Amino acid sequence: MTLVLCDLLGRDGYRFSPYVWRTKMALAHKGLAADIVGITLTDKSALSGWTDYRKAPVLKHGNTIVCDSWHIAVYLEENWPEAPALFPDRASLSFARFLNAWVVSDLYPLLLPLIARDVLDHVHSGDRARYRATREERFGRTLEQAQAQRESEAALFRSRLDPIREVVANSPFLCGDTPCYADYILFGLFQWARCTSAFPLLDHADPLYAWRREMLDLFAGLGREAPGYPC
Amino acid sequence: MTLVLCDLLGRDGYRFSPYVWRTKMALAHKGLAADIVGITLTDKSALSGWTDYRKAPVLKHGNTIVCDSWHIAVYLEENWPEAPALFPDRASLSFARFLNAWVVSDLYPLLLPLIARDVLDHVHSGDRARYRATREERFGRTLEQAQAQRESEAALFRSRLDPIREVVANSPFLCGDTPCYADYILFGLFQWARCTSAFPLLDHADPLYAWRREMLDLFAGLGREAPGYPC
């Protein structure tokens, strides 16, 4: 049965959704391929007939529609139990569940203002006005004003990473010697930045830099080959 | 060989150090007993001859001195491998390592101002002046001023718990069906509050409330029996 993945389209070949990147890495981890359909922020017609849910990723597997990257990961794990595990044990499931919430609540809001002006240059042409308006309303300042402060504001984002830095300073991947879904959650965030912005988030001596390099190498360079910026 | 644990003494029988609670739970998990010696914030002479390190917990095992709750946990795991595991797998070690940093960097600073005035009433009599001075310098306001704001400021502390709330809403303990060291890290923070303050941190419907109740029941109610306040 064919898998179809609904992705968020940027301009040209740019594909930067942090949530879709989680799913793309999870599919590759399971050795699965999926056809891609696309939505934009302003045109979600590709999902019509699938679901009323309106955010990528959405996975279609036969007649089954699975919305939200977390639910997709759980679905893949349950339906392809013989393929490499995304959650090899209960602790890795708990850690991933924690990160699934923490990355969105504690990291994403700090990273967004640093790169939102850059993201604007990579959204689909029909999305530019909407993207600017919604983000500027959230920030209470223009994208340019936010970006002008990023050298100083990046310090808080980087320090908030300290707990995860402790982990990768002591382990190749978040749950051991091989990557699992917890890694893909965090990687999605960095890949969102890498596909939209040349702003350097991590110093070369940072243990997270080495971890990200390993993540970019996975699956024949799936993340590295995607249109984006060296980092 | 006898184990001796250096604890932080409060007034009377109050023993509230969040870091020593991690170690007390870890020792109980391993089925180990330890003699207790005590320091206060202003009198650390019990550690003289042991180490220049000046914070509880410190563990003495024969001629071996182990400082810092994290290193003690690792030491117990390495030296009592046949006893129940504190880190049953690599993911539980990573998750614990993350929480060891996150609880201190992200939770402790938000909880401290809420209860510091209450903690003052439980420190050793010789420590009161020092405790007040150091905390008030850190806060830039008096302990009473901080406490006066706690009803509103508690909201941020509670919301910062959301990622861990996701975990315990789906699992009895942080890494599965039995407690492990990750649980003791988080429990130490709540036990610090419980042993010093009647301020209610968690609503009864909160999944973390049920988790904490289970933690208080462990080891014949080791945490529950300690002098403190119902919560």
Q: What is the 3-state secondary structure (H, E, C) of B87-133?
A: CCCHHHHHHHHHHHHHHHHHHHHHHHHHHHHHHHCCECHHHHHHHHH
Q: Give the residue from chain B lying closest to A170, CA to CA.
A: B94
The two tokens of residue A84 are: 């490499």
pLDDT at A181 over 90: yes
Contacts A177 to B, Cβ<8 Å:
90
pLDDT at B229 over 90: yes
Q: What pLDDT is stored for residue A31 in this prediction?
A: 98
Residue A53 φ/ψ, nearest 5 degrees:
-60, 140
pLDDT at B76 over 90: yes
| CB-nearest partner of B98 from A93, A97, A167 | A167
Strand order in the sheet with B64-67: B35-39, B3-8, B58-61, B64-67
pLDDT at A172 over 90: yes
B7 and B37 Cβ atoms separated by less than 8 Å? yes
Q: DSSP secondary structure string, A173-194?
A: BTTBSS--HHHHHHHHHHHHHH
Pick among A98, A105, A106, A185 to test the B interface (most B CBs inside 10 A): A98
Split at pLDDT 50, 70, 90, the class of B120 is very high
A to B CB pairs, distance under 8 Å: 93
Q: Give the residue from chain A lying closest to B181, CA to CA.
A: A91
Distant-in-sequence, close-in-space partners of B28: CB < 8 Å, separation ≥ 6 = B218, B219, B222
Contacts A102 to B, Cβ<8 Å:
163
pLDDT at A38 over 90: yes
Q: Is A54 left (phi over 0), alpha (psi -120 to 50) or beta?
A: alpha
Rounded CA-CA distance B36/B55 in Å is 14
Rounded CA-CA distance A99/A190 in Å is 14
pLDDT at A36 over 90: yes
Residue type, B118: D
Model pTM above 0.90: yes
Would you call the peptide bond into B109 cis, given omega within 30 degrees of 0 as the criterion? no
Average pLDDT, chain B: 97
Q: What pLDDT is stored for residue B231 in this prediction?
A: 78
- Report, as an integer, the average pLDDT of A149-174: 97
- Report, as an integer, the average pLDDT of A100-124: 98
- Report, as an integer, the average pLDDT of A161-183: 98
Q: What pLDDT is stored for residue B28 in this prediction?
A: 98
Which helix (H) or strand (E) segment is A7 a member of?
A: strand A3-8
Q: What pLDDT is stored for residue A231 in this prediction?
A: 78
Q: pLDDT by residue (tens digit) across B191-201?
A: 999 999 999 99
> Across the interface, do A92 and B91 touch by the CB < 8 Å criterion?
yes
Contacts B175 to A, Cβ<8 Å:
90-91, 94
Q: How far apart are the first and last CA of chain A?
A: 37
In order of start, what are the domains of chain B with their CATH numbers? 3-79 (3.40.30.10), 90-224 (1.20.1050.10)
Split at pLDDT 50, 70, 90, the class of B53 is very high
Quote ipTM for the complex. 0.96
Q: Among the residues of chain A, which ranges form H helices?
A: 18-29, 69-79, 90-102, 108-120, 128-139, 143-148, 150-160, 162-168, 181-194, 207-225
Q: pLDDT by residue (tens digit) across A188-228?
A: 999 999 999 999 999 999 999 999 999 999 999 999 999 99
> Across the interface, do B180 and A91 touch by the CB < 8 Å criterion?
yes
What percent of chain B has pLDDT above 70?
A: 100
| CB-nearest partner of A98 from B159, B160, B164 | B164
Rounded CA-CA distance B107/B160 in Å is 7
Q: What pLDDT is stored for residue B102 in this prediction?
A: 98
Q: What pLDDT is stored for residue B1 in this prediction?
A: 81
Pick among A71, A86, A94 to test the B interface (most B CBs inside 10 A): A94
- Distances from the Cα of B42 to the Cαs of A221, B10, B59, B126, in angstroms? 57, 11, 20, 7
Q: Give the residue from chain A lying closest to B164, CA to CA.
A: A98
Å between B122 CA and nearest CA of chain A: 30
